[in-house]
């Protein structure tokens, strides 16, 4: 999947208008890789530190603002019937793969959209895209420094058991781009 850099795209305009640092979305090796810049100390968005909310249409909004307790998100997803493994990893680290056999990318699994006024950014999970016996594997990276808050994540669906994470070097890295923005 190619990153959409079209300035006329509504989500790209939304990010620029809100002074977000960057957005990159790419599908790689059976995973949806996401890197998102969050507004720098702007105080935008309200709500709980982490929330997993079932919507009337059956989709699930996932809000992440606290990168210390992945087990809370994992349990909330399981409460909604989504078998899941959620990890928070330091930038520059990843789990040694393969941890599982993964299903092919599914662009209908996770979507994003601009939050409404006063709402924190979120990802919308479509749990009907996860078949019985499959597990959502949601790995998130976090960096907070003088350049701002940066997050990135990898979303995969395992078709069998998921091995524990053995942390190794690699994964998402945040670097300053030629125009001063941060990207992965």
Per-residue pLDDT of the chain (184 residues), as tens digits, is 333 444 444 443 433 333 333 333 333 344 444 444 333 222 334 445 788 999 999 999 998 888 888 999 999 999 999 999 999 988 888 999 999 999 999 999 998 878 888 888 888 999 999 999 999 999 988 876 666 666 778 899 999 999 999 999 987 665 555 555 545 4
SS3 78: helix
Sheet with strand 60-64: strands edge to edge: 50-54, 60-64, 123-125, 110-112
pLDDT of 116:
82
| Domain locations along the chain | 10-183
pLDDT of 52:
94
pTM over 0.85: no
pLDDT of 120:
81
CA distance 64 to 76: 12
CA distance 184 to 163: 26
pLDDT of 122:
86
pLDDT of 145:
67
pLDDT of 172:
63
pLDDT of 4:
41
pLDDT of 36:
42
Beta strands in the chain (DSSP E): 23-28, 31-38, 50-54, 60-64, 84-90, 93-95, 110-112, 123-125, 135-145, 148-158, 167-169, 175-176, 182-183
pLDDT of 25:
33
pLDDT of 43:
32
């Amino acid at each position: 999947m190619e990153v959409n850099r079209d300035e006329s795209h509504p989500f790209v305009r939304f990010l620029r208008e809100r002074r977000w640092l960057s957005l990159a979305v790419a599908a790689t090796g059976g995973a949806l890789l996401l890197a998102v810049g969050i507004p720098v100390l702007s105080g935008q968005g309200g709500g709980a530190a982490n929330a997993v909310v079932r919507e009337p249409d059956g989709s699930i909004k996932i809000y992440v603002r606290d990168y210390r307790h992945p087990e809370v998100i994992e349990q909330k997803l399981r409460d909604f019937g989504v078998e899941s493994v959620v990890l928070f990893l330091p930038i520059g680290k990843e789990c040694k793969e393969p941890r599982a056999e993964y299903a092919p990318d599914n662009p209908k699994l996770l979507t994003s959209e601009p939050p409404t006024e006063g709402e924190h950014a979120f990802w919308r999970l479509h749990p009907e895209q996860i078949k019985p016996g499959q597990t959502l594997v949601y790995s998130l990276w976090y960096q907070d420094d003088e350049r701002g808050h940066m997050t990135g994540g990898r979303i995969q669906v395992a078709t069998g058991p998921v091995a524990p994470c053995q942390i190794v070097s690699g994964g998402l890295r945040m670097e300053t781009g030629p125009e001063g923005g941060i990207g992965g």
